[in-house]
Structure formats: C-alpha cells, structure tokens
Structure 1
C-alpha cells in the first residue's frame, strides 16, 4: 500500500486546506494524475499521485487542514477499480441480506426478554420506595405547628433544614433563613441562565454562519499584522487627468491596432511610480531586523479583487517594460487572478504596490501596506470638478484623488509627500513621462 502525501508547496507555504477531492475511494489513478485540490494562503494547488493503482483509502475530508508531509490517501498498486467483479458483489449482498435477517430475529427475541426484565425491576423498585416512605414518616423533623405552617407558605422542606437548637427543634427563624438562602440561589441560577441564553441568542433574527476560507483568513491576518507592526501613515494629493485622457484618446486606436492591447491608465501610473521610486529609493526598500534592504529592481504589485479575495500579482521588471508590455502583463495577470490560475511565483515578491479602488467608485481611501513593503499607492475615481487655474480662471477638470500609505519607521513625511508629488507631476505631464519611459 502506497501513501499519497502533501508535497512541498512553496518556500513560505507549509499548510493548506482540502478544497476538493478529484477522486474517491475505489477510483483507478495513474501516476501523475491529480487527486486533490488544496487551497493555500495564495493559490489553489493540485496534488498528483506518485503511483498507479486504486485509491484504497481517503484519510482527510474536504475542509480539513493539512501540512506538508501529511498522508492524505492510500493507493493499492495491485488493486482493481470498484465494479470489476459484479458477480462477487451480488453474492456478498445476498449473504449480507441473510445475515441481517438472522440478526434481526435475534434482536427481536433479545428485546422481548429485556422488556420483561425491565418490568420486573420496575415493580421491585416501586415496592422498595413504598417501604422507604413508611420509614421516613417515623423520622419526622421536630417543629411547632406555626413553624410548619410558615414552612409550607414559603415552600421550604423541613427535612432539608439544619436547626440551630441543640435539641433539634426547628424554629421560624430557621425557616426564614432557609427561605432567604433558597431565594439567593435562585437569583444566581437565573442570572447564569440569562447569560447562557444571551450567548445562544446573540442575534434576534436569522443569520447564516459561513466558515472563512483559508485565503480570507490569511488576508485578514496579514492586514492586521501590517497595521500592528508598521507605523503606518497616509498622505493625499489630487491629479489633473486632462492630459493623460487627451493623449489616451488620441493614441488608443493606433495603440490597440499595433500592440493588440488597450491603452489604460495603469501603465501611466506604473511608469510614474517606477520613475518616482528611482528618485526616492527608500520607498522601494524594506526593513529586515535592524537592516534596511534597498531593492535594485522594480517589481510592481497590482492589487486585483477576486471572488476568493484580494490578490496581488506582480509585474516583474516594470522599469524594462514598454507601455504595451505593462498593459499586456496587467491584463494577463488579472485574467489569471479571476480564473484562479495564478501561480505562486506570480504572487511572490514585489517592491511596491498599486491598488485601484476607483474601478469600484471609491473617491478616497487609506490603503494598507502590503508588508514587508513600506509603501502603497491608492488610485480613485475620476470626477469632474471646478478648479482654479494659474490665471485665476475656473475650469472643469477631470480630477483623481491619490493616496500613499507608508511605513513611518523608514520613510519620513517629507519623502512620502515628495514621492506623491512626483507621481502627480509625471501624470499631469505624460509627454515627460514618455521620455522617462
């Protein structure tokens, strides 16, 4: 019997959740066939069988957490797929039916005998209780008629009272004290019941509880860690998108015909970010212990929203790509993200991240740093607003709020503001940006 184990997934991934079994017990598999899909922190990974044979046993269920090296199934290399010997199966079924009939007969006879014994024991216990009650009457507590009356009024059993009188006579004071003690105990029990009922009925109206996916749990954990471990601040500015929109409108048809991709805004912002990172290298760094690691490459993460949650695939060497190369890479990564086909390599690394909440209508936000990076740029919805020009005239311009969150442990406010201003300048003068590119 051979074992299928969880293989090494990636350097930073040691566990996953069983998302879906692609085979079941009794199925024939060949070496290299996928048998189960695991959901990890970043992507879903298929685990293949290292052996040919029949799935003899599935050891974990869908939804279970597993670690690298865990045995998740067993393969019988000499076995045959289920359903290969119908005649044997039918014989086994007939034999099992006959056995079940015999067992049912025996069970009926046993149940009759059990009922008879239960009745006899019940009669014996009733007789014993009657004898006990007779004996109890002869051992009545000593109390006056007035005390007995008061005990009846308060619902107190005199047999449960320990009298203070050394002779053993129960007084009214003993009854009153017992009633008070009983009342206090009742209040405590009722308060406990109220607490328990409050826990059970947290909501007065119907709710649905759904277990968080491993990816959503990881996203939640890392976002909280980013806020707890970094001195995070956000600086804001606004960009006049007039010139970029004009240039894009003039060149979009030729661009699409020549390169096969649409000219969007993300390539402009990616180029502007790369140029600004070269001027402010600390924004392209990270903290490791007591050291600052300044990255000499420009791998830009692009936050993409999917049904599974937010993922950040990385555009590698964005400084070496043309506008068309960036747009093509962003489009391919976004499609893979939506289809759930991103690889671990496409999600790892990155030196700076861009997130665009404007596609959902966000006018402003404070993006959270994608640790261990120390900066993230947030883009927002373009809105026409009246703007005062240099000659004091007022014009309606398409404006976008931009926000940069940064780790104040490494980046001072001056650098963060200047970085964002440089991005603004390059977007507002895209021809200069083309020369920079």
Structure 2
C-alpha cells in the first residue's frame, strides 16, 4: 500500500519548514531509523527518520523549497510497489515533483506556467513565496533588492507591491558611478571545498543575522571561585545513590538563574516582528545552555531554570545535553529564554565574548578557572582562583548600569555559593 509522507510539525510554533536535503532518492529502500530528509526551520535543522522499513516511490517537493506543515512531500510503500528503479551510482537523481502542465493556448512553447525560479543574491537563494515571484515578474521588480517581512526574511507579495510603489515614486536614477573591480575569487585550496551541513548552514545564517542586527556591548569581570570549587568537590564526594554529579556549568546556570529571578527586567527580549519593534517580557526564567555536539554548537533551553533547586537543575541540564549530543532535540527545545550560558572553561580560555543567540537579549561567556596571586588588604600576595566572565547584552534593551548590576549578582552567587543551595 502506497503511503504519504508529509512535512512534519517539529515544534508547537512551526508552520513551515525548508526541505534542506533529501537523504533517500526515489527507488531506494530504507530501514527503520534511517534519515529520509533534513528539515530546516528558523531554529534548527532536524533529521526526519523512518518509523518503518520501506522504499521511497517519489518525492513531490524538491530540496530547497519552503513547505507548509502537513504538505505532501513524498510517497513510499513497504514493499516497493510502484517505485522507480534506484539511480545508478554517479547518475543524476531523477527530477523531483510532478511534470509541468501543458502550456495554455496562445502561450509560447516552453514558457513556464508556474512561478519564476527564485533569484540568487550573493550566491544564496532569495527566499520568496511563489505568489511574490509571479507578482515581481509582472511588476518588473528585482527580488534581489527587496527586503522580506516573512520568517527568515522571506519575501511576500505585499513586500513586492511596496517595492513597486517605491520604484514608481523614486526620482530618475543617476548614472551609475564607476565601481571598483571586485576582488579576485579565492582560489580553491589544495584541501578542496565542501558544502556545510544543514545544521552548520542554519547556525551560520542565524549568528550572522544576530551579529549584524543586534547592537552588542560587552562587560567582562572575574569571580573568585575557591569556595565554589570546594563546594562542588564536597557535593560530588557524596556517593548516595540518585544524587547527580554537579559540574561548573550547573553552578553557573544556578547563579544565572538566581540573578535572573532577582532582576526580572533581564528576562526580556526585543521583537522586530512589528514596525518599530516591541519589548517582550518573558517572565518564565528559562535559560539557554550552549552544547557542543558532533553536528555543531546548539543552545537548548532549560525550562524554568531560574526556579529549579540545584540537584533538579543538574538532572534536567544533563538530560538536555544528552538529547542535544544524540541529535534528539526538537524545535521547542531551542525556543524561548532571554539568556544563554556558554561555558568554554574546559578549553583553556580566559575570557570569551559570545554572540547573542537570535531571539534572545544576552549571553554569558564563561572561561577557565585561573590561579592568580592578588594582594590582600595589607599588600601581601594571596592565591586566588578566578573565573573569567563576559556578558554580551543587547543595547536596545539594556544600558551598561543595568547589565553590570545583573553580572554582579551572578558573581555574588558564585562567590557565596551556599546561596545556590537554598530554595530559589
């Protein structure tokens, strides 16, 4: 029996996704757990696995297209009935989708009856709806010059019509100035070139947009963590069954959570969805945590982290980390929160200035613990163990005074760690 494969809903807020890559071609068999297709949303690139054995009969949507949730994207069957032969090694994959309908009477042979192809800007496909492409063709609007208002900058018909109005009312164009010749393209190195994975491309696009669009400022300070490290050693020496191991990341998350609960104004984000922007107060105490995975760096969100006791925080953070490294995160795992903790202390770095995750308003970069001598009140050298911290903050929401007060609360929690054992 032939069955349908539809665009899955990978999160509560997901309405559409990009078919980033087909891993199985028509005619090829697959096993339970094999990755059929990679779906990219504005938060994550997810691998969609087969829940049973079968053979892919046809794909109805090509890679690179944006598709609404629930849309038919392929057909398959358990026994392969109706499937086309699998392509030979090295052969080009079969054309995806259904054939174009015959041209209507009066049209020139070979004219496309569907929407024009998506244009390319700086080597990347310009995201636009089929209706927007048709309208742009009719109005003579160059889509590479239009800024989209849809998800991930996707161009809608309204954007095209607004561009056409601006184009009609604009004064006559001046002669184009002489341009400096573009730099020679980078020669291919001996090691060759390779395409980024869907996850790497998603991370690159989102962080580039965040660095470009969010006005970052940075505050750096050290926390004296001798007591903190001694407390961690004592907690982990308790071998009672069921108690989680406590890491430095867990302690920093707890300190950030306590500071967030005490300064709820830091639990806000800037939303560009409406003209002029809006400030959203979240109030949930969610905290992102950067996790290094084989697929790249991701930042799942610890729900209600500001209100969790230390042991529970450690358990939930460990479970979230395991899901991230096994590639089991959902779109919902990556949504929400105003701040992320990025701990690079295990990699021998003193300070780290991090890029704010898209949709958030701050990120705390955590360095390595350093042993340094500092003078005491009488000027005598005293050995200290210091942790370097850098808070990156969104200047649209916070000024230096407010962000520094928040950072100092985090430092106070780390330097007086018994506070972290009390109920938040």
- Same fold flag (TM > 0.5): yes
> Could you say which residue in structure 2 is the equivalent of 1:224?
208
What residue is the counterpart of 2:237 in the other structure? 253
Q: 1:44 aligns with which of 26, 41, 46?
A: 46
Choose the corresponding residue for 2:21, options 18, 21, 28: 18
Which of residues 324, 336, 344 in structure 1 aligns to 2:323?
A: 336
Asked whether the equivalents of residues 6 and 67 of structure 1 are also in contact (C-alpha less than 8 Å), the reply is: no
CA contact (8 A) 2:341 2:363 kept: yes
TM-score normalised by L of structure 1: 0.64
Map 1:122-271; keep pairs closer than 5 Å. 199=185, 202-203=186-187, 205-254=189-238, 256-271=239-254
CA–CA separation in structure 2 for the residues paired with 1:368 and 1:79: 48
The match for 1:284 among 254, 267, 270 is 267
How do residues 24-39 of structure 1 correspond to structure 2 at under 5 angstroms?
25=27, 27=29, 36-39=36-39
Structure 1 position 206, deviation (Å)? 1.4
> Does the 8 Å CA contact 1:7/1:47 hold for their aligned counterparts?
no
Structure 1: gaps spanning 5 or more residues:
83-194
Question: Are 1:386 and 2:386 counterparts?
Answer: no
CA distance in 1, matches of 2:231, 2:79: 68
In the TM superposition, residue 422 of structure 1 has moved relative to its aligned partner by 1.3
The answer to whether the 8 Å contact 1:35/1:49 transfers is: no
Unaligned runs of 5+ in 2: 84-180
Deviation at 1:436, TM superposition (A): 5.6
Question: More displaced, 258-267 or 35-44?
Answer: 35-44
Contact 1:28 1:80 in 2 (8 A): no
- Deviation readout 1:307-342 (Å, 9 max, x if unpaired): 211111111111332211111112111122111122
The alpha-carbon distance between structure 1 residues 320 and 244, as it changes in their structure 2 partners (threshold 3 A), is same
Is the partner of 1:370 in helix, strand or coil?
coil
**CA distance in 2: counterparts of 1:404 and 1:197, whole angstroms:** 37
Task: Kindly indicate whether residue 396 of structure 2 is the aligned counterpart of residue 396 of structure 1.
Answer: no
Q: Report how far residue 376 of structure 1 moved.
A: 1.1
Name the CA distance, whole Å, in 2 between partners of 1:416 and 1:45.
Answer: 38
| In structure 2, distance between residues paired with 1:283 and 1:243 | 27
Distance 1:77-1:306 versus aligned 2 partners, 3 A rule:
closer
Report SS of the residue matched to 2:240: helix
Deviation (angstroms), 1:220? 1.4
**Cα separation, 1, equivalents of 2:22 and 2:348:** 33
Shift of residue 280, structure 1, vs aligned partner = 2.3
- 1:248-291, Cα deviation, whole Å (9 max, x unpaired): 2222121x524342121222222211221233222110123443
Residues 436/207 of structure 1: CA separation in 2 closer, same or farther (3 Å cut): same
Partner of 2:57: 56
TM-score, normalised on structure 2? 0.66
Q: Is the CA contact 1:259–1:324 (under 8 Å) kept in the aligned structure 2?
A: no
- The number of residues matched between the two structures is 317
CA distance change for structure 1 residues 65 and 413 in 2, over 3 Å: closer, same or farther?
Answer: same
Q: In 1, distance between residues paired with 2:33 and 2:370? A: 52
Residues 80/286 of structure 1: CA separation in 2 closer, same or farther (3 Å cut): closer
**For residue 126 of structure 2, what is the aligned residue in structure 1?**
none
Shift of 1:16: 2.9
CA 1:386 to 1:8, structure 2 compared with 1: closer, same or farther past 3 Å? same
